[in-house]
């Protein structure tokens, strides 16, 4: 965690808050820089950028509740829309990455806004995997209920993790560019799960993604947006925040390790036919090339 004063002014941040006399916990994140970096790396259209941004924002919000420094959360949205698979990965350390199967999908519009629900699809599945860094990761899959990623993740939290939650993710679009993006997660503490009045208040005060995007378009900070939505629930924003950023975990060593898994026969074939190997990371589009000498060294290592 870092003090707000120490974070770069333009850095994306994750903040925490409590409210309703400790009956709710709140996490909010800005993902503007994360999203702009993802768009640059994958050459995405605005609609693909927005959909991936929502998935990465949701994964950062879910990862924020994990305790282990190496813990990570994957969100896999397999909808029947034209975007195809949307995959986001985020760590408790504030790093995020992801990709979309169809990054160059032409923008789809509905009443002047990007029609992300149609692009994602109204049918399909949402899979969430939590990995604490050791042992078997925990994963669960639910059907998509709306194609709105925030609502679908909220449904997952209620049905698979039995946590009453409201999660919204959204963005501000100006001239085909994402200028602001982020998300909010509000969760009811277990001891207050039967407080119907509180649950109704949260439902009424946390808007949909479009309204959230409009608040972002006014240049408000995440703290200001939280106060706007939850001002009458005695919200207390905690004084420390975490910087979040786009960061991939790929490396040349990982690429060579993946080649090693293919086995000696496949490796020999690469040496004889291609005199090398090339791999592209799905998450960041980084291209890795191994020459003949590197592959021969890898083969000798395997044989020894």
CA gap 126, 75 in Å, rounded: 7
Q: Report the candidate in 248, 254, 280, 213 with the shortest Cα–Cα distance to residue 37.
A: 248
Instruction: Mark whether 127 and 89 lie in a shared domain.
Output: yes
CA gap 104, 52 in Å, rounded: 12
Instruction: Mark whether 222 and 266 lie in a shared domain.
Output: no
Please, are residues 106 and 45 in contact by the beta-carbon 8 Å criterion?
yes
3-state secondary structure of 8: coil
Write down the pLDDT at residue 111: 85
Structural domains counted in the chain: 2
Instruction: Mark whether 26 and 76 lie in a shared domain.
Output: yes
Query: What confidence tens digit (pLDDT) does each residue in 132-176 have?
Result: 988 999 999 999 999 999 999 999 999 999 999 999 999 998 878
Write down the pLDDT at residue 175: 78
The strand pair at 165-174 and 138-143 is best described as unpaired
Task: Write out the residue range of the structural domain in which residue 147 sits.
Answer: 2-246
Look at residue 8 and tell me whether its pLDDT is greater than 80.
no
3-state secondary structure of 64: coil
Last residue of a domain, one of 246, 275, 290: 246
Look at residue 5 and tell me whether its pLDDT is greater than 70.
no
Surface-to-core class of residue 12, CB atoms within 10 Å of its CB (0-12 exposed, 13-18 middle, 19+ buried): buried
Query: Which bin fits 93, alpha (ψ -120 to 50), beta or left (φ > 0)?
Result: alpha
Instruction: Mark whether 63 and 186 lie in a shared domain.
Output: yes
Instruction: Mark whether 224 and 264 lie in a shared domain.
Output: no
Look at residue 283 and tell me whether its pLDDT is greater than 70.
yes
Instruction: Mark whether 125 and 196 lie in a shared domain.
Output: yes
CA gap 39, 36 in Å, rounded: 5
How far does Cα 113 stand from its chain's mean position?
21
CA gap 36, 44 in Å, rounded: 10
- Say which CATH number the domain at 15 has: 3.55.30.10
Neighbours of 196 (CB within 10 A): 8
Write down the pLDDT at residue 209: 87
Last residue of a domain, one of 202, 227, 246: 246
Q: What is the mean pLDDT of the chain?
A: 92
What is the pLDDT confidence band of residue 229, given thresholds at 50, 70 and 90?
Answer: very high
Instruction: Mark whether 231 and 275 lie in a shared domain.
Output: no
What is the pLDDT confidence band of residue 98, given thresholds at 50, 70 and 90?
Answer: very high
> Under 8 Å CB-to-CB from 70, ≥6 apart: which residues?
91, 92, 93, 132, 133
Look at residue 2 and tell me whether its pLDDT is greater than 80.
no
Instruction: Mark whether 90 and 212 lie in a shared domain.
Output: yes
Write down the pLDDT at residue 208: 87
Report in angstroms the alpha-carbon separations of 284 from 30, 37, 76, 87, 128.
20, 9, 16, 12, 21
Q: Which range has the top average pLDDT, 37-46, 225-234, 259-268?
A: 37-46
Instruction: Mark whether 270 and 191 lie in a shared domain.
Output: no
Look at residue 113 and tell me whether its pLDDT is greater than 70.
yes
How far does Cα 130 stand from its chain's mean position?
13
Question: What are the two backbone dihedrals, phi and then psi, of residue 183, each rounded to the nearest 5 degrees?
Answer: -165, 165
Please, are residues 123 and 144 in contact by the beta-carbon 8 Å criterion?
yes
Q: How many residues does the chain have?
A: 304
Write down the pLDDT at residue 77: 98
What is the pLDDT confidence band of residue 303, given thresholds at 50, 70 and 90?
Answer: confident
Last residue of a domain, one of 231, 246, 261: 246
Instruction: Mark whether 219 and 262 lie in a shared domain.
Output: no
Instruction: Mark whether 234 and 261 lie in a shared domain.
Output: no
Neighbours of 111 (CB within 10 A): 6
What is the pLDDT confidence band of residue 220, given thresholds at 50, 70 and 90?
Answer: confident
Write down the pLDDT at residue 214: 86
Instruction: Mark whether 134 and 283 lie in a shared domain.
Output: no
What is the pLDDT confidence band of residue 216, given thresholds at 50, 70 and 90?
Answer: confident
């Amino acid at each position: 965690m870092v003090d707000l004063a120490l974070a770069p002014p333009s850095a994306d941040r994750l903040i925490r808050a409590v409210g309703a006399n400790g009956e709710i916990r709140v996490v909010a994140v800005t993902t503007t820089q994360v999203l702009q970096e993802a768009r640059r790396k994958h050459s995405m259209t605005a609609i693909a950028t927005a959909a991936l941004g929502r998935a990465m924002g949701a994964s950062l919000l879910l990862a924020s509740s994990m305790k282990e420094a190496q813990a990570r959360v994957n969100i896999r949205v397999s909808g029947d829309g034209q975007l195809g698979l949307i995959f986001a990965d985020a760590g408790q350390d504030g790093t995020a990455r992801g990709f979309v199967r169809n990054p160059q999908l032409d923008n789809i519009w509905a009443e002047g806004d990007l029609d992300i629900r149609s692009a994602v699809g109204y049918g399909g599945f949402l899979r969430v995997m939590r990995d604490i860094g050791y042992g078997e990761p925990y994963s669960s899959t639910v059907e998509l209920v709306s194609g709105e990623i925030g609502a679908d993740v909220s449904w997952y939290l209620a049905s698979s993790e039995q946590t009453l939650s409201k999660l919204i993710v959204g963005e501000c679009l100006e001239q085909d560019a994402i200028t602001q993006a982020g998300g909010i997660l509000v969760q009811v503490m277990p001891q207050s799960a039967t407080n119907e009045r509180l649950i109704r208040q949260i439902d009424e005060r946390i808007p949909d993604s479009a309204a959230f995007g409009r608040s972002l378009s006014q240049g408000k900070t995440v703290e200001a947006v939280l106060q706007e939505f939850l001002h009458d629930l005695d919200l207390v924003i905690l004084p420390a925040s975490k910087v979040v950023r786009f960061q991939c975990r790929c490396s040349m060593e990982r690429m060579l390790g993946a080649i090693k898994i293919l086995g000696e026969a496949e490796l020999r074939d690469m040496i004889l036919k291609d005199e090398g190997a090339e791999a592209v990371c799905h998450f960041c589009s980084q291209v890795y090339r191994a020459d003949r000498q590197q592959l021969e060294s890898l083969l000798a290592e395997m044989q020894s």
